[in-house]
Structure 1
């Protein structure tokens, strides 16, 4: 039986089973038993917030477009199941649509803010409004980013939010920054995390999340070090 104290977070849903960052992918993650999913957001030209990892549609869809140059009506016909020939049509989802689905499925969310060169104040103000109207539950949400500018803006505009500092290896100034921005969790690449780093994070009282490990046996020692959550493409393998 899976350990209920270990958070298994479906990375962009369950991309080993379904198209990433899609409504169907998040449903599939829930079917594996995952109680959390991770996703990425960015803005269209008309300030519509959408769920997509890249600044373009090229990698995952049947189109080639820069999202920051599109408006909502231009999303029609984009099929984000292009890499999964046996999967039915998947629209590029609006964040508002995903919020409604997560509420229906009672899934918790690690929302990553992507730094695609858009003004941080603009990005966070749109997110703030959506959270207030569609997903007003801080206990089910962590907002993470590699961008300190975006995290700083979240701290300013959404001070109640639980913020996660994304990194590859733990930066030297992480403790100072975490105090300054009221960071809730540290999100490290699993393979770059040392035992001493893990102990520091836990001793200072922060949650420790690691990304992206797809074989449970690779991170067994990290659970012993105090890791709270793993972000994975294969949630089904952790939840057998």
Structure 2
């Protein structure tokens, strides 16, 4: 796995409208080598790059994301809310995002953004798109808060680098990571304790922390063994890449 210390969150969410191709390109312009984006399954099998359960915050649409069809999603403006210079930016499909990221030579942390229980219907189409279009498994991480989704990923392809996403580190983190031969635990930086961080590292897993947007916020986390920070503004951390 070719992991680096800095990963752009939703592309680079403070620099361009999140989860758009513009955001991915803005991340690349900072020099960051990895981006995290959200794949969201919608009606009729569509797979889009989007975070929210409703359309209002990041587009000029309205209603539940899950219920929208692909044609309607692709007609929306996903950039004007961020700034006039991004007017007309579209919600990308998973295929479009993959093409953009690979063209830029970046690694991808793809978060499966899904809270439902019918993961056996949701996960296989995502993995099928990745199998067809993503070229380098050492530059691909699949993460999710939805642990059953990760279990399906593991059952379908044991070569995948899986990351269990949590806010607070749960008591059963070790059992969960071991059961899917996870690559990493990806957790919110703020509640993480030194004891938890060192335990994750001692167990042999990578530790990624989200979403710190100032270097001072995770100064101690590096000492605890944190391997990478997921940030809305990669510029705040690129000096670390220069040192490595």
TM-score, normalised by the number of residues in structure 2:
0.92
Query: In the alignment, which of 76, 80, 95 is matched to residue 78 of structure 1?
Result: 76
Asked whether 1:64 is paired with 2:65, we answer no
Q: CA deviation at 1:19?
A: 0.3
Query: Which one is further off, 185-194 or 60-69?
Result: 60-69
Instruction: Give the 3 Å change call, closer, same or farther, for CA 82–201 of structure 1 in structure 2.
Output: same
Secondary structure of residue in 2 paired with 1:123: helix
Secondary structure of residue in 1 paired with 2:217: helix
Instruction: Give the 3 Å change call, closer, same or farther, for CA 51–76 of structure 1 in structure 2.
Output: closer
Equivalence for 2:39: 41
Instruction: Give the 3 Å change call, closer, same or farther, for CA 76–165 of structure 1 in structure 2.
Output: closer
Q: CA deviation at 1:237?
A: 1.3
Q: CA deviation at 1:125?
A: 0.7
Query: Which one is further off, 90-99 or 133-142?
Result: 133-142
Equivalence for 2:90: 91
Q: Matches of residues 116-195 of structure 1 in structure 2 within 5 Å? A: 116-117=115-116, 119-195=118-194
Aligned structure 1 segments of 4 or more residues deviating by more than 6 angstroms = none
Q: Matches of residues 216-231 of structure 1 in structure 2 within 5 Å? A: 216-231=215-230
Equivalence for 1:29: 27
Indicate conservation of the 8 Å contact 1:42/1:116, yes or no.
no
Equivalence for 1:51: 49
String of CA shifts for 1:24-56, please: whole Å, max 9, x gaps: 000000001110111111112121210000122
Q: CA deviation at 1:23?
A: 0.3
| Gapped regions of structure 2 (runs ≥ 5) | 240-244
TM-score, normalised by the number of residues in structure 1:
0.94
Query: Which one is further off, 126-135 or 67-76?
Result: 67-76
Indicate conservation of the 8 Å contact 2:41/2:114, yes or no.
no
Indicate conservation of the 8 Å contact 2:4/2:34, yes or no.
no
Q: CA deviation at 1:18?
A: 0.5
Q: CA deviation at 1:104?
A: 0.2
- C-alpha root-mean-square deviation of aligned residues, in Å? 1.6
Indicate conservation of the 8 Å contact 2:108/2:139, yes or no.
yes
Secondary structure of residue in 1 paired with 2:76: coil
